[in-house]
Amino acid sequence: MAAGLIGRKLGMTQIFKEDGVVVPVTVIEAGPCFVIQKKETEKDGYTAIQVGFEKKEKNVKRPAAGHFKKAGCGVFGKLKEFRVTDAELGNYELGSELNVTMFKAGEKVRVTGFTKGRGFAGVVKRWSFGGGRTTHGSKFHRKTGSVGQNVNPGKIWKGKHMPGRYGNEQVTVKNLEVVRVIPADNTIVVKGAVPGSIGSIVYIKK
């Protein structure tokens, strides 16, 4: 295991390899992040480091200010814990900086984010139901349809595909290849798509 970075999705584009092949990529602003807290097995029951991303100056509550004061590197708006081993925990010091140089081109990473929220959606949009006829006179287009079991008393089985909230779920995409690392801009370019809309927060880990 190894620590990761908090980043912000900037969007998708495409790059050309030396042989002319077009590769779709996602550009992520990753870090710089700072170590805010270290979790130890003796005290907390597990080993991890808490990192902060994007400094915050306004509306800081006093308990949060005291928590950040121990690290001495400012107040941050985004926090995330990354599990590490006991041996790796000693490699991190409070207030130390983590940036994109921890990744190299050609490596595989996994990116976690939240998918786009669609709000309350029907079964056609949420579950790709086929719907009914679209001909003139039909009164069944995008409705749910029959949900009963033709029994008495009727019931709805748990897990039945129904209308409801769609999207805004945590999704992790594994084995994304790092195409480029640009330390000057604190950006990392990975092959393929990552969950979330433009500007959303993502978590990158080896």
Q: What are the structural domains, with CATH classification, of the chain? A: 5-125+169-205 (2.40.30.10)
Query: Considering just the CA atoms, what is the radius of gyration of the chain in Å?
Result: 23
In whole angstroms, what is the distance from residue 196 CA to residue 27 CA?
A: 12
Q: What does the alpha-carbon distance between residue 29 and residue 24 come to, in Å, rounded to a whole number?
A: 17
Which residue in 198, 194, 196, 192 sits closest to 24, CA to CA?
192
The residue-averaged pLDDT of 22-43 equals 92
- Quick: pLDDT tens for 137-191: 998 999 998 887 777 777 888 889 999 999 999 999 999 999 999 999 999 999 9
- What letter represents residue 58's amino acid? K
**Terminal Cα-to-Cα distance of the chain (whole angstroms):** 8
For residue 107, pLDDT over 70 is answered with: yes
Which of 194, 186, 190, 205 lies closest to 54 in space, CA to CA? Answer: 186
Distance CA 189, CA 197 (A): 16
CA-based torsion, 64, 68, 74, 79: positive or negative: negative
What's the whole-number mean pLDDT along residues 35-53?
Answer: 90
| pLDDT tens per residue, range 109-123 | 999 999 999 999 999
SS3 158: coil
Q: What is the pLDDT of residue 115?
A: 95
Average pLDDT, the chain: 90
Residues of the chain above pLDDT 90, percent: 57
In the predicted structure, residue 197 carries a pLDDT above the cut 80: yes
